Amino acid sequence: MSRSVEPLIVGRVIGEVLDPFNPSVKMIVTYNSNTLVFNGRELYPSAVVSKPRVEVQGGDLRSLFTLVMIDPDVPGPSDPYLREHLHWIVTDIPGTTDASFGREAISYESPKPNIGIHRFIFVLFKQDRRKPVVVPSFRDHFITRQFAEENNLGLPVAAVYFNAQRETAARRR
């Protein structure tokens, strides 16, 4: 297992949400053009309202990728009975570009954690070809592993997560 997945194991992303994988593509997630997402970073919900730029630094223009963003800690990390909550799906993202070049299958929903610290996970899969994906009709009880299996995506090629918790009214001012 590569050192780059260690934070995903410590953060229980690998295990609770994803099976072990070896990253083979670099994915860079940036909010508001200057807030870089890295594993375990805490971001305020007010800083992640708009959809981020997600760059795929791998493959070539003929390679296609699917991006999934989920929250496995809904409604709260101590009892995540709605696990996983789906925030975003973008398919057909050409390699060496960003998510804006793909097809948004499920629109971006900004994180709004209510109870405790939530993990928000971006997962990137390599597609074998351009194809429509089976998308869920609701956002709660999404299962990333099942989505990957139903759409023949295999194991992830990249993943990164950040933490967020409810902001106090004083913090939002």
pLDDT in tens, 78-123: 999 999 999 999 999 999 999 999 999 999 999 999 999 999 999 9
- Is the pLDDT assigned to residue 173 strictly greater than 90? no
CA gap 120, 161 in Å, rounded: 5
Tokens of 33: 């053009």
The model's pLDDT over 63-73, given as tens digits with 9 standing for 90+, comes to 999 999 999 99
CA dihedral 140, 4, 6, 143 (to 10 degrees): 20
Segment 116-142 shows an average pLDDT of 93
Say what the pLDDT of residue 85 is: 97
Asked if residues 14 and 1 have their Cβ atoms less than 8 Å apart, the reply is no
- Is the pLDDT assigned to residue 18 strictly greater than 80? yes
What is the average pLDDT score of the chain? Answer: 93
CA gap 89, 69 in Å, rounded: 7
- Residue that the structure tokens 């409810």 belong to: 166
Best CA proximity match to 125, nearest among 40, 71, 44, 66: 66
CA gap 28, 59 in Å, rounded: 14
pTM (global) more than 0.85 = yes
- Is the pLDDT assigned to residue 171 strictly greater than 70? no
CA gap 65, 83 in Å, rounded: 24
